[in-house]
Amino acid sequence: MQIENMDCALACCGCIACSLNRRTILYRFMSSRPKVLVVTYPDEFAKQEAVGLAEAAGYLVAHKVTQKYLNHAEYGVGSGKAEELKEIANQVGSEAIIVDERLTSSQMNNLSKLTGQQVIDREKLILNIFSKRTQTTEAKPGMVKSQSCGLFGGTYV
């Protein structure tokens, strides 16, 4: 279910019954999206962009975590931050962790094993957005091929 403009879609007479119906529809819309934990850089633009990309892909951002460097060897973040992500993900009940940087497949795998969450890097997130919005029959096979071949540096399912 994708609603571009919630106010236009739910415009009504303003009575109590319509107001309750509107709240129910909003709750269902918001709760049907998978919750994610977003890891991004500390500056405001990066945070807004990462949240915007996550929402464009259909996710509900449950929590934001900032990290100055997102290119550490084992997890993409430091080992202490990776443990913190594990705790936060369990507390907020997220289904995935989005890292606002390109990660290698081994970094995604390591972080996923540690946290027990699906890990999505920036490139995979953008590919997911494009594949959801692909309309033409000519473009769809190209998106599938780029995702399955790891055109952007990793293997994607």
Q: What is the DSSP letter of 33?
A: S
The per-residue pLDDT for 3 is 40
The per-residue pLDDT for 27 is 52
User: Which of 134, 20, 52 shows the shortest CA–CA distance to 145?
Assistant: 134
Mean pLDDT by 10-residue block, N- to C-terminus, for the chain (157 residues)? Answer: 43 56 53 89 95 94 92 88 94 95 94 95 91 69 56 43
pTM score above 0.85: no
The per-residue pLDDT for 14 is 58
33-148: CATH homologous superfamily? Answer: GTPase HflX, N-terminal domain (3.40.50.11060)
The domains of the chain are located at 33-148
The per-residue pLDDT for 46 is 95
User: Which of 38, 139, 29 shows the shortest CA–CA distance to 96?
Assistant: 38
